[in-house]
Structure 1
Amino acid sequence: MRNENKVSAGENLKRIRKELGLRQHEIAGEDITRNLISLIENNRAILYDTAANIIAKNMNKIMYERDINIFIKPEDLLNPERYNARKKANTYIEKLENILIEKKFNIEPEKLNEIEAFLNQWDLVDKKVRIYELLGDIFYISNNLNREYYYYFKALEASYDYPNMKKRYKLALKLVYNCVVTDKNEEVINLCNYMLLNEKDIPDRFKGVFYYDIALVHGKLEEIDKSLEALKNAKKHFTYKNNMDLKKVLILEGICYYTTKNYSKALKSYNELLKILEGKNIADETCVTYINIIQVYIAKNDKEQVIKYFDKVMSNLPYVNEDSFYLPEIYYETSNIYLYLENYEASEKYLNAALALSQKSENHNLYKKFVSTLIDLYIQANWLDKLRDLMNSLEDKIYNIKLNEEFILVLKLLLYYVSQDDHKATEIIITNLLQKEKEG
């Protein structure tokens, strides 16, 4: 077997060209003759930097036209050792792809360090982007948000050393989604705006997705006018063929109008959404839309319309799939509507159903939200025995709450007022804290 250290630059060029499925005249282009390529590959001419730059540029142009994510640097042609490094990178890629297929996400820290060291040693841009993206995918599926962010960020950062990289926007969207979930709000806005201004090959639909993500963050920040403006731009890039995208836009649009008490426009958005859902047999999304409409009529204190649309919710609810992502919230909002109608028994029934689903899915945020509402229900209904039983069942969880110094200070203050039988002062502190939490 030939010693790889003795492979000449010309022989290295030949094996790379053949692996890419290219002919000599294709990589010659206008500035280098096919004859010179032949001489170089047969060690009868030297591959100089200038020729290596031209050949690499021609190779990359063909890879781009063929939509193949391979980027060749002049160094890949001049330094035969990089050939073996690219091969090793391919083995890393294959192993990471298999991890995603087999769903065995326990990557050892030592293996991650090995991959990082390898990528730092060999500046293989196309391989670096792919490996970091795969690592981001793995940590996304395994719900490790910090690691996911780190690797998607590294992948996007590396991609800017990859000129004319196609579909960079898809990589950016993965990072944006992580930032939305982790409340990196300014980063979402900046990244989306940057992509919209600087990327030329973003398909129309995905421009709309970037605008929607901007709108979503402005909505979270209660910057409603900015959110509505971004939604207006998103709509320009969506058609009725983009049903999924349009539905998200109309829901957020309705919420924005509801927040600003522009109830007529909120209802217009929700009714437009109902037209898209009509005849689609999507019971969960239909229920959510009717619930949003009901919330508008509750705000208007129009009990007749609340009952009218609540009947529509209840007629669709039996057809909602038990595995629906929306079902816990549908049960929760159904409970709230029954509470508005002062039907406490039905309200408790659906709230307990929501609570059971949150426990089953181990969604701790929803669980805490539903328990808090159940406490409110028992207080409002004056069901003190049920309240006492609930608090007893939560005793272990309460004692295991992690306390910070500020919370300890509040508890000490409350304990002092209780010892002084100053119930009014105690009530004021608790009420103000709960109100602040509600508003925040």
Structure 2
Amino acid sequence: MYFLENTILPPGEKLKRLRVYLDATQQDTSNGKISRNLISYIEQGKTKLTKDTAEIIVENLKRLAQERNISVDFTAEYLMQSETEQAEGILRKSVKRLHEIFDADIEKFEAELNKAKEILNTWDITEKKAEIYEIAGDYYAKGYHHNESYIHYLISLENYIRIHDNLNVAKLYSKLGKSAYDSQNYKEVINLHNHALLIMKTCNIEDPGIMKRVLFNNALAYKQLKDYEKSLDCLEELKKRFPDLSVGQQVDVLTLKGNCYYEQGNYEAAKAKYKEIFDIIDKENNDQVGKMLALVNLGRVYHKYGQTEKAIDCINDSIMIGLKANSIYCCDVYIELGDIYTDICKYDLAENAYIKALYNAKSTKMKGWEARSYRKLLDTYIIRDREIYIEQLIQEINIAYKENPKIMGDDELKEIYLKAARYYIDKNADQAKDLLDLVLANPK
């Protein structure tokens, strides 16, 4: 490690600190080969340090260090580095370090990130700023911190635009699109992805990874917007452009196609797509999560056909696979099971499924799933007129929301309060009033 390697200083100040550390005078540093006054001017910043002068200084100081048995490492090139060059070197190490601790806890990651940000606040090194903020966006996206992810991606995008790095501009638009999808801003997803497509077309950029991500995420967004035909069109274009999709990608495409057909009421087409997934998985690999999702989706189709027992068997098989694979999707599957039991009025079993969904949602910390589980439980308790359970559930929700407001949006919280208030309106006017006061206390 170089002397003062992680400290940014003008060359003259760096020389002065090195000289003082070695307990050397300016005359010692010059050693008669250059004037003492030149050393003084360099340290005061009045004269630029040249390569020849730096080499003489380093030769003299290394000799002094050896004579005094002081271990220190430095070179003429290091001594001559400008402050910007030093900052860039530190930021290169920050990039490497951020990659190394990408799977670490958030406190450790943010400590390193904040060090880099402090340097970037002083030294506007655009390329490194773009790279570091992109890594941070990836980290926050991984941890489901969607707002933080979006903000960091946006700053990264701005800096890639400044250096005309069109490939990374297109990539960042696609990442912003995924972040917008996670935040349920589906129209923005499509707008951002269309920017990515326009840049790729205008700049003749061929990048299969970006193109696949854009087409598939657009299909997801159109599906959420209930424009199932456009979603299916995106999937067809994806399949046409990339006939060599991996098994996992084929499973994702077939699942989304099946879901679109299901929402359109075309249950036979949906069932065919879900069954096609089993054929691919059995032949090509052992994608347990893909099999899990195919089973739960197939269960939904059987339920629509009135084959309830068959549907429950499929979903229970899906849960078994999900638990073994420690899948984040177990919450969704438990909710599907609870919905089926609710439809056939088996409320005890429905409540049990929703409680398991809530437990799973808390452990995975997936945005929205905890709120969804709470709503399902509330609906079940209201149907069964279980007043004491409703009161306890509202208390639990209040505590959970105070501890972590990110578990649900304000609208979701209001919906829960209003449902409970409506239940209490004829039973306990004071309780209903308290719940309505909570709604009014959160006007956003």
Structure 2 residue runs of 5 or longer lacking an equivalent are: 1-14, 16-38, 54-78, 403-409, 437-444
Q: Cα offset for 1:85? A: 0.9
In 1, are the aligned partners of 2:94 and 2:112 still within 8 Å (CA)? no
SS of residue matched to 1:222: coil
The answer to whether structure 1 residue 236 and structure 2 residue 240 are counterparts is: yes
Offset from partner CA, 1:173-196 (integer Å, 9 cap, x none) = 332221211234343222222222
Cα gap change, 1:325 to 1:169, in 2 (>3 Å): same
Counterpart for residue 307 of structure 1: 309
Counterpart for residue 353 of structure 1: 356
Alignment of 1:379-390 (within 5 A): 379-380=382-383, 382=384, 384=385, 387-390=386-389
Q: Cα offset for 1:138? A: 4.3
Alignment of 1:246-261 (within 5 A): 246-261=250-265
Counterpart for residue 105 of structure 1: 109
Counterpart for residue 117 of structure 1: 121
In 2, Cα distance between equivalents of 1:416 and 1:169: 53
The answer to whether structure 1 residue 177 and structure 2 residue 181 are counterparts is: no
> Quick one: which amino acid aligns to residue 291 of structure 1?
V
In 1, are the aligned partners of 2:215 and 2:234 still within 8 Å (CA)? yes
In 2, Cα distance between equivalents of 1:282 and 1:369: 27
Offset from partner CA, 1:403-431 (integer Å, 9 cap, x none) = 99x99x979x979975999xxxx9xxx9x
The answer to whether structure 1 residue 85 and structure 2 residue 84 are counterparts is: yes
Cα gap change, 1:201 to 1:87, in 2 (>3 Å): farther
Counterpart for residue 326 of structure 2: 323
Offset from partner CA, 1:63-95 (integer Å, 9 cap, x none) = xxxxxxxxxxxxxxxxx9995413312312323
In 2, are the aligned partners of 1:166 and 1:201 still within 8 Å (CA)? yes
Alignment of 1:29-428 (within 5 A): 84-102=83-101, 103=104, 104-107=108-111, 111=115, 114-120=118-124, 124-141=125-142, 143-163=144-164, 166=167, 168-199=169-200, 200-239=204-243, 241-279=245-283, 280-299=285-304, 302-304=305-307, 306-315=308-317, 317-320=319-322, 321=324, 323-363=326-366, 365-380=368-383, 382=384, 384=385, 387-397=386-396, 418=426
> Quick one: which amino acid aligns to residue 127 of structure 1?
K
In 1, are the aligned partners of 2:288 and 2:325 still within 8 Å (CA)? no
Cα gap change, 1:238 to 1:275, in 2 (>3 Å): farther
In 1, Cα distance between equivalents of 2:139 and 2:320: 36
In 1, Cα distance between equivalents of 2:144 and 2:52: 47
Superposition TM-score, scaled by structure 1 size: 0.64
Counterpart for residue 8 of structure 2: none
Superposition TM-score, scaled by structure 2 size: 0.64
> Quick one: which amino acid aligns to residue 290 of structure 2?
E
In 1, Cα distance between equivalents of 2:167 and 2:49: 33
Counterpart for residue 437 of structure 1: none
Offset from partner CA, 1:339-365 (integer Å, 9 cap, x none) = 445544443333332222223334573
In 2, are the aligned partners of 1:284 and 1:317 still within 8 Å (CA)? no
SS of residue matched to 2:206: coil
Q: Cα offset for 1:393? A: 2.2
In 1, are the aligned partners of 2:84 and 2:123 still within 8 Å (CA)? no
Cα gap change, 1:394 to 1:332, in 2 (>3 Å): same
In 2, Cα distance between equivalents of 1:108 and 1:126: 18
Fraction of identical pairs, as percent: 23
Counterpart for residue 48 of structure 2: 6
In 1, are the aligned partners of 2:126 and 2:163 still within 8 Å (CA)? yes
> Quick one: which amino acid aligns to residue 357 of structure 2?
A
In 2, are the aligned partners of 1:179 and 1:185 still within 8 Å (CA)? yes
In 2, Cα distance between equivalents of 1:251 and 1:364: 22
In 2, Cα distance between equivalents of 1:319 and 1:9: 66
In 2, Cα distance between equivalents of 1:82 and 1:229: 55
Which segment is superposed worse, 393-402 or 240-249?
393-402
Cα gap change, 1:172 to 1:418, in 2 (>3 Å): same
Counterpart for residue 75 of structure 1: none
> Quick one: which amino acid aligns to residue 316 of structure 2?
M
SS of residue matched to 1:296: helix
Cα gap change, 1:211 to 1:362, in 2 (>3 Å): closer
Q: Cα offset for 1:172? A: 3.4
> Quick one: which amino acid aligns to residue 48 of structure 2?
K
In 2, are the aligned partners of 1:86 and 1:127 still within 8 Å (CA)? no
> Quick one: which amino acid aligns to residue 336 of structure 2?
E
In 1, are the aligned partners of 2:91 and 2:128 still within 8 Å (CA)? no
Cα gap change, 1:292 to 1:152, in 2 (>3 Å): same
Cα RMSD after superposing both structures: 4.2
In 2, Cα distance between equivalents of 1:316 and 1:395: 31
